[in-house]
Amino acid sequence: WSVVELGSAFNFTGTHYGAVNRISIYAGQTGNVEGVTGSTNDASHAGTGILNNASGGVFYVTNIGTGTINNGYGVLISTVSGINKWSLYAADGSAPSYFAGAVGIGTTAPTASLSVNGAANNTTGAWSIFSDLRVKTVNSEFTDGLNVINKIRPVRFTYNANAPFNTKDQQIGIVAQELEILAPYMVNKKDYKDIKDLREVNSQAYTFLLINAVKELNAQNMNQQKQIDELKKSIELLQKK
């Protein structure tokens, strides 16, 4: 256990480290090295009993005084160099990763369990949700379709300085306040900084709006086809007279 006491002076400059592990390969060395690890933490169990909880490492950033910690990082990964490089690399493919808080990719201000600033690619799999009847209670039929689709106003836009992320790319979407009037079940509100009701859109309902819209259009088409067939029969009867 390494403890660095900074004393009671009022101000300190520079960066203070509790412990530093470093392996240096100097410029004069020309050989190849298979692998270098700056620090290894190992929790091993070689006994026959039960070990309830094991951690390779535990990190804390705590404020036990009356001062202020402006930015606290449980783990801060600085520069990573290499032809192939990863800030985090979990080598055990059978071990899931768990995050109790919100995760932001490309944004430091996630407003949902996962917020992505940019595109998310899905190659061979599919985005899935639990839909088994055994885990749900059906409350009613969803009937919205053309009545909503016909009123939605698609727009081109760019995010401004109030957005939770920084991007200047042009986007295509809708205005949440407008959609909220048509389909309030598609709009959620979150607190973000000075905005107490930042609106987010649940795009999942678009699929079912379009399904119902196609059904409505198909019904209209079938009705029109029926009328056309009846008119054809009437014309044929008139032509035979």
Give me the residue spans of the domains in the chain: 141-214
pLDDT tens for each residue of 24-39: 777 677 777 777 777 8
Query: How many other CB atoms are there within 10 angstroms of residue 204's CB atom?
Result: 10
Its sign, for the CA torsion 4, 62, 7, 76, is positive
Give the per-residue pLDDT at 11.
Answer: 61
Largest Cα separation within the chain, whole Å, is 113
DSSP states along 67-91: S--SS--SS------SSS--SS---
Both tokens assigned to 202: 């649940």
| Segments of the chain scoring below 70 in pLDDT | 1-20, 27
- pTM, two decimals, is 0.64
